[in-house]
Amino acid sequence: MSSHSRVHSHFSHRFIVFALLALIMAATRSGHSGTPWVPPDASWAVFFVGGFYLTREWRWALAALLIEAVAIDYAAIRYAGVSNYCMTVAYWFIVPAYSLLWVGGAWLRRGYLRAPIDLARLLLSLALCVTLCFLLTQGSFYWLGGRVGQASLAGWWSNFTRWYGHFLTVSGAYVALAALIELAVQAIDSDASVPGET
């Protein structure tokens, strides 16, 4: 395969990954908990997985996914009757928060060995990034959003513990599914590389 063909193939694969991630976010970003017809919001996992697969394409891919997230939220509020309760000055903390998830996926990719140690690195990176993302989004909303009448550390902690497990579980489930797909693709590639018997 020529170098031009390899570059074209690389870009095609990366664009397919980006398109799938964008589609998943568009299909699920209607509510945190989901509905009987729509699964829970996959946005956090989308940014983490995007950082893993689209590390070199971050200049356009990260920006495009951030724009998509904002556009979906705007359309949901403007045209679908979704409450604007979360639309405060704190809303824009999603930019650094989602970027942190992306960085976590990119860090995981940088040391990816296709070995058992990758599982430990995945758990560490995902847990840390989801925690930081949640601290940024939930903390900024609680303290800066103007929706809480009498903010207090006890009130913040109660809100934190109420929602943190949900976001960690949902993100972990989506990333686990992506990891299983990655392992399946690796197994298929491995089988394809083994010469067949004649």
**Is residue 176 in a domain?**
yes
Six-digit token string for 119: 């599982």
Residue 164 domain-assigned?
yes
Tens place of pLDDT for every residue, the chain, 198 residues? Answer: 555 555 556 668 889 999 999 999 999 997 666 566 779 999 999 999 999 999 999 999 999 999 999 999 999 999 988 888 889 999 999 999 999 999 999 999 998 988 889 999 999 999 999 999 999 999 999 999 989 889 999 999 999 999 999 999 999 999 999 999 988 988 887 776 655 543
Residue 92 lies in a domain: yes
Tally of domains in the chain:
1
Looking at residue 139, its pLDDT comes to 96
Q: What is the largest CA-CA distance in the chain?
A: 76
- Could you tell me if residue 197 is inside a domain? no
* Parent domain of 155: 3-186
Tokens of 172: 């972990």
Residue 191 belongs to some domain of the structure: no
Cα distance between residue 9 and residue 191, in whole Å: 20
Contact, 58 vs 100, CB < 8 A?
no
What's the N-to-C CA distance of the chain in angstroms? 25
**Residue 125 placed within a domain:** yes
Both tokens of 30, joined, read: 């209607």
Supply the DSSP symbol for 91: G
Instruction: Specify the residue for token string 């045209």.
Output: 79
Smallest CA-to-CA distance from 11 within 60, 81, 46, 77 is with: 60
Within-domain flag for 196 = no
pLDDT in the model for residue 194: 56
CA gyration radius for the chain? 19
Q: What is the pLDDT of residue 172?
A: 97
**Tokens 């990333």 -> residue:** 175
Residue 113 domain flag: yes
